[in-house]
């Protein structure tokens, strides 16, 4: 076997600070490393493996499609992506879907759609998109510009123009940013994931919708991380009772295969026309067959289970000496600990539990179907690791 740690260092671009762990196989929420040590996984490849590793039903859907064909290009009709688009529209009330391969691309499409909608309706000078301070929308030059965190910007200037940042949960600041600029849209995550698992207040989200209405702006929800059942609803915006004009999603949609989707509502369903946008791999049959399996399994019962498990985790952790606070929504939780988050993560890893970080917090993103006994075992390890 190759020396994976050294070869990785030698041949892989140096963009990731990896844990000293090579994962080789898993089943559900259990996964083994190259030494044969087993872990309970509460990270799901950053909210991607919706039903854990190599879930049987999911795997069969993928294998069945693999046996038919793997790719067609968008020059031809293809059943898996049509089926998935229909399913997404029926479950959300949105009208049209554009498929891509990642969260950043799903957001690129959302931004292009918003710019074109505003240009068609109000004039091309109405191109500013208001996003939030501490947001995360992706790593391309445009989605970096949308990301309201200077640390991500500094070495890559100039970024795409036309983004301004309002403070989260600050209605006056949002109003001011909208008034000071010629705007097309307001774009936000209902729970800022990379920013520290911070949910927006209901009052603020309602204000976004009201301000958008008053100023003829589109409402764009970035559901890349919060989407596909993770928040305890199919999409997190549903927890706030709002109807966005555009929804972007990716991570958990295909349960572990690359996909991005941009959902367009009534206002924007006709905005993009022939050759306005495209993606070679977008709507890939394998990814779409996987996503059809994932989305059709996210029903009321599963979502109730997500909310129940969420409450269990919150209740268990809140009373631990060493836990300052628990925040988030559904199975997307952030824990503020008295110890350094990295120390808690390492102790968990040593004791067979995988958790990750978001800013200064320990972040939990377990599989939506994690069995109760495995969750309990993992939370007990985590509680011990947090204790001071």
Ligand X SMILES: *Cc1c(COP(=O)(O)O)cnc(C)c1O
Interacting stretch for ligand X, rule CB under 6 A, among 96-104, 162-170, 180-188, 199-207? 96-104
| Range 72-79, long-range pairs (CB < 8 A, 24+ positions) | 72/285, 73/280, 74/278, 74/279, 74/280, 74/282, 74/283, 78/283, 78/285, 78/288, 79/285
Q: How far is the CB of 332 from ligand X (least distance, A)?
A: 10
For ligand X, the closer of residues 50 and 107 by Cβ is 107
| Residue 148 contacts ligand X per CB under 6 A | no
The nearest distance, CB 223 to ligand X, in angstroms, is 8
Considering only 137, 230, 297, 361, the residue that binds ligand X (CB under 6 A) is 137
The residue number whose beta carbon is nearest to ligand X equals 103
Asked whether position 229 contacts ligand X by CB under 6 A, the answer is no
Q: Which stretch binds ligand X (CB under 6 A): 97-105, 163-171, 334-342, 367-375?
A: 97-105
Q: Among residues 136, 152, 163, 237, which is the contact residue for ligand X, using CB under 6 A?
A: 136
* Per-residue b or e along 58-87, where b marks 16 or more CB atoms closer than 10 Å to that residue's CB: bbebbeebeeeeeeeeeeeebebbebbbeb
Is 174 in a helix, a strand, or coil?
helix
Q: Can you tell me the distance from the alpha carbon of 41 to that of 30, in angstroms, rounded to the nearest whole number? A: 6
Total residues contacting ligand X (rule CB under 6 A)? 15
Q: What are the structure tokens assigned to 7, written together?
A: 């070869």
* Residues numbered 236-265 forming contacts with ligand X, rule: CB under 6 A: 250-251
To ligand X, the closest distance from the beta carbon of 231 in angstroms equals: 12
| Window contacting ligand X (CB under 6 A); options: 98-106, 124-132, 337-345, 353-361 | 98-106
| 186 binding ligand X? (CB under 6 A) | no
Site residues for ligand X per CB under 6 A: 102-104, 107, 136-138, 189, 193-194, 222, 224-225, 250-251
């Amino acid at each position: 076997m190759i020396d994976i740690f050294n070869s990785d260092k030698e041949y892989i671009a140096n963009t990731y600070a990896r844990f000293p762990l090579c994962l080789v196989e898993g089943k559900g929420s259990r996964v083994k490393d190259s030494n044969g040590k087993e872990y309970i996984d509460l990270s799901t490849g950053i909210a991607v493996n919706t039903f854990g590793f190599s879930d049987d039903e999911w795997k069969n859907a993928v294998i069945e499609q693999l046996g038919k064909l793997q790719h067609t290009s968008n020059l031809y009709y293809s059943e898996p992506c049509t089926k998935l688009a229909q399913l997404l529209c029926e479950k959300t009330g949105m009208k049209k879907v554009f498929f891509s391969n990642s969260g950043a691309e799903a957001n690129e499409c959302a931004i292009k759609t918003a710019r074109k909608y505003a240009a068609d309706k109000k004039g091309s000078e109405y191109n500013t998109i208001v996003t939030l301070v501490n947001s995360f929308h992706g790593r391309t030059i445009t989605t970096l510009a949308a990301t309201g965190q200077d640390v991500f910007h500094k070495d890559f200037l100039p970024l795409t123009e036309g983004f301004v940042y309002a403070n989260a949960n600050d209605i006056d600041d949002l109003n001011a940013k909208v008034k000071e600029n010629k705007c097309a849209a307001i774009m936000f995550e209902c729970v800022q994931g990379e920013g520290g698992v911070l949910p927006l207040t209901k009052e603020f989200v309602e204000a976004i919708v009201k301000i958008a209405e008053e100023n003829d702006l589109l409402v764009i929800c970035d559901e890349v991380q919060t989407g596909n059942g993770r928040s305890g609803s199919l999409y997190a915006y549903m927890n706030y009772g709002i109807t966005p004009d555009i929804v972007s999603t990716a991570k958990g949609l295909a349960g572990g295969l690359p996909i991005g989707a941009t959902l367009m509502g009534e206002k924007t369903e006709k905005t993009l026309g022939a050759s306005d946008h495209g993606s070679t791999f977008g709507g890939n049959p394998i990814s779409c067959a996987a996503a059809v399996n994932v989305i059709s399994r996210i029903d009321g019962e599963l979502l109730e289970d997500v909310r129940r498990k969420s409450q269990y985790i919150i209740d268990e952790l809140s009373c631990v000496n060493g836990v300052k606070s628990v925040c988030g929504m559904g199975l997307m939780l952030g824990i503020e600990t008295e110890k350094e988050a990295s120390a808690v993560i390492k102790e968990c890893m040593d004791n067979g539990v995988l958790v990750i970080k978001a800013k200064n917090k320990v972040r939990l993103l377990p599989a939506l179907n994690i069995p109760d006994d495995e969750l309990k075992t993992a939370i007990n390890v985590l509680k011990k690791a947090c204790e001071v």
